[in-house]
């Protein structure tokens, strides 16, 4: 089972690895505003692009890997 991150941990990962959030968003075809809202705790990532971003950030488990 994958360990989920908090928004603060995900943000710290960007800083620790010297990765620009804007570049990461471009590479993953995500809106910068969606990702920043997730990192600030303004969105929960329930549907659509916000959900996909939350999974990529490690804030939510990937539904494809969950066993039923």
Instruction: Give pLDDT tens digits for 11-47.
Output: 999 999 999 999 999 999 999 999 999 999 999 999 9
Q: Is residue 50 part of a domain?
A: yes
Q: Is residue 21 part of a domain?
A: yes
Q: Is residue 2 part of a domain?
A: no
Q: Name residue, tokens 């994958």.
A: 2
Q: Is residue 18 part of a domain?
A: yes
Question: For residues 4 and 61, is the Cβ–Cβ distance under 8 A?
Answer: yes
Total structural domains within the chain: 1
Q: Is residue 29 part of a domain?
A: yes
Question: For residues 6 and 57, is the Cβ–Cβ distance under 8 A?
Answer: no
Q: Is residue 53 part of a domain?
A: yes
Q: Is residue 57 part of a domain?
A: yes
Half-sphere exposure of 52 (CA within 13 A, CB side): 9
Reported pTM:
0.89
pLDDT of residue 1: 55
pLDDT of residue 68: 59
């Amino acid at each position: 089972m994958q360990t989920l991150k908090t928004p603060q941990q995900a943000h710290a990962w960007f800083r620790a690895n010297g990765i620009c959030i804007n570049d990461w968003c471009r590479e993953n075809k995500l809106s910068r505003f969606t990702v920043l809202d997730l990192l600030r705790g303004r969105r929960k990532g329930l549907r659509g692009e916000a959900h996909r971003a939350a999974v990529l950030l490690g804030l939510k488990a990937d539904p494809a890997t969950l066993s039923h």
